[in-house]
């Protein structure tokens, strides 16, 4: 069983998604209500969010106000489950989640126990449209009903450990099987870390893996020479000699593995830059009310998207965009989507989806920085230096793409119709 958790801003978007009210959820008929916590019965997504806002009113400085949770048991373990069974599974998970206290290497608490049982929240069961694999989605208020803030430091570790404990108690799996299941993700995290490093550095490799939630143990001899290392996540430990292919993540081979990866990346980048398509792409941008400007067209140059955004990676979510009547799916880092949600909040921005589509297309490299070709005022020049800079992380690059989308299309504030 797998458990995931993250604190997020603008939780209304997540609540709409898990309740099936979001237009990004294509099969709301495959969503089932499991339970609510400390909420009046029968609320829709807006009602749930409004109720949470009453609790959050005195905590306006808490930016990430909702905790998003996903619990995914193996399909064979839940094939005969009723809603009552799913409720009990969630209750088991919550008990373990709230009971976990995270300690540092000196035994000092750095993430105290949470109280989601005492927080407003809702839980839904989702079935995958193709595979039918079931999983639970929960959205809980960051502030409990006593006015305490639920700690979100390393909250992903808390969810992972809670899922492991529940699975073990139910006899669904053993610690060895959990480790066997997770080793694929550990390999992917090591590979992504090496791919993301601009230059080889052992210290940077260690720091980046620690930022992903791993504990890192270096194995050195009496002369302080590095002989190996061990990664630890949850209750599982992974020796470097057990990871990768041909032991290519061992300390003695790591720099060589990095060089090979970046030699391949350099070749792929040269191929990609030579494959620019110069025909214009038209994205229609429509006004949302009768007082908005007439339909505008934005002409841009299509390029080949960056390969890393066309396949799933840890910490990404799928995003569909229609360009030239062609639907494309990309996997966007969650932190970039958070930026777009912040910049183009659908509750305040009438053309939120158009702006987000443009920003995503720029972010993945599908489009170059465009020029506005409408008949309205304003020039078509772009004063911003374009192209992603080497020192830009995902969040900074997303912010620049959001600003460019707003410059090209223009943000249209949402106004209520007066009676």
Judged against a pLDDT cut of 70, whether residue 253 lies above it is answered with yes
Mean pLDDT of the region 132-152: 95
User: DSSP labels for 122-157?
Assistant: EEEEEE-TTT--EEEEEEEESB-TTSPBPP-TTHHH
Mean pLDDT of the region 152-171: 91
Nearest-5° Cα angle at 411, 407 to 412: 150
The reported pLDDT for the residue numbered 141 is 97
Question: Nearest-CA neighbor of 17 among 144, 138, 163?
Answer: 138
The reported pLDDT for the residue numbered 25 is 76
The reported pLDDT for the residue numbered 368 is 65
The reported pLDDT for the residue numbered 107 is 86
Query: Does the 2-172 domain belong in CATH 3.30.930.30?
Result: yes
Long-range contacts of the stretch 126-130 (C-beta < 8 A, 24+): 126/18, 126/30, 126/31, 127/30, 127/31, 128/30, 129/26, 129/27, 129/30
The reported pLDDT for the residue numbered 22 is 86
List where CATH 3.30.930.30 sits in the chain.
Answer: 2-172
The reported pLDDT for the residue numbered 390 is 77
Mean pLDDT rounded to a whole number for the chain? 81
- Yes or no: say if 336 and 277 are a contact pair by the CB < 8 Å rule: no
Share of the chain above pLDDT 90, in %: 39
- What's the pLDDT band for 317 if we cut at 50, 70, 90? confident
Share of the chain above pLDDT 70, in %: 80
Judged against a pLDDT cut of 60, whether residue 401 lies above it is answered with yes
Between CA 292 and CA 64 the distance in angstroms is 33
Judged against a pLDDT cut of 70, whether residue 301 lies above it is answered with no
Task: Indicate the range of 1-10, 338-347, 374-383, 391-400 predicted with least confidence.
Answer: 374-383
- What's the pLDDT band for 213 if we cut at 50, 70, 90? confident
The reported pLDDT for the residue numbered 292 is 32
- What's the pLDDT band for 369 if we cut at 50, 70, 90? low
Judged against a pLDDT cut of 60, whether residue 377 lies above it is answered with no
Task: Indicate the range of 26-30, 99-103, 306-310, 398-402 predicted with least confidence.
Answer: 306-310
Judged against a pLDDT cut of 60, whether residue 385 lies above it is answered with no
* pLDDT tens column, 261-292: 887 555 545 544 444 433 444 454 544 333 33
């Amino acid at each position: 069983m797998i458990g995931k958790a993250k604190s997020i801003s603008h939780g209304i978007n997540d609540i709409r998604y898990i309740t099936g009210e979001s237009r990004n959820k294509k099969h709301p008929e495959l969503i089932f209500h499991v339970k609510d916590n400390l909420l009046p019965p029968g609320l829709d997504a807006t009602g749930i969010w409004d109720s949470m806002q009453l609790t959050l009113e005195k905590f306006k400085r808490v930016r990430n106000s909702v905790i998003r949770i996903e619990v995914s048991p193996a399909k064979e373990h839940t094939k005969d489950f009723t809603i009552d069974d799913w409720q009990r599974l969630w209750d088991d998970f919550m008990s373990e989640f709230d009971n976990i206290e995270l300690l540092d290497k000196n035994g000092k608490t750095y993430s105290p126990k949470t109280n989601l049982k005492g927080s407003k929240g809702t839980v839904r069961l989702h079935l995958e449209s193709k595979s039918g694999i079931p999983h639970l989605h929960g959205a809980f208020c960051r502030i409990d009903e006593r006015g305490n803030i639920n700690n979100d430091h390393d909250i992903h570790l808390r969810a992972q450990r809670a899922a492991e404990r529940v699975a073990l108690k139910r006899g669904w799996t053993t610690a060895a099987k959990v480790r066997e299941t997770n080793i694929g993700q550990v390999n992917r995290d090591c590979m992504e870390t090496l791919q993301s490093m601009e230059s080889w550095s052992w210290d940077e490799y260690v720091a980046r893996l620690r930022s992903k939630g791993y504990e890192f143990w270096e194995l050195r001899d009496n002369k302080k020479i590095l002989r190996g290392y061990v990664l630890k996540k949850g209750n599982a430990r992974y020796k470097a000699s057990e990871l990768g292919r041909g032991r290519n993540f061992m300390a003695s081979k790591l720099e060589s593995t990095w060089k090979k990866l970046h030699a391949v990346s350099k070749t792929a980048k040269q191929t990609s830059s030579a494959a620019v398509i110069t025909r214009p792409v038209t994205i229609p941008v429509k006004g949302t009310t009768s007082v908005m400007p007439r339909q505008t067209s934005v002409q841009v140059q299509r390029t080949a998207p960056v390969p890393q955004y066309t396949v799933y990676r840890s910490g990404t979510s799928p995003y569909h965009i229609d360009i030239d009547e062609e639907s494309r799916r990309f996997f966007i880092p969650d932190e970039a989507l958070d930026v777009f949600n912040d910049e183009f909040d659908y509750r305040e921005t009438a053309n939120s989806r158009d702006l987000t589509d443009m920003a995503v297309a720029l972010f993945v490299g599908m489009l170059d920085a465009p020029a506005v070709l409408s008949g309205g005022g304003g020039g078509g020049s772009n004063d911003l230096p374009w192209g992603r800079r080497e020192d830009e992380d995902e969040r900074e690059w997303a912010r620049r793409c959001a600003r460019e989308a707003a410059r090209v299309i223009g943000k249209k504030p949402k106004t209520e119709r007066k009676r």
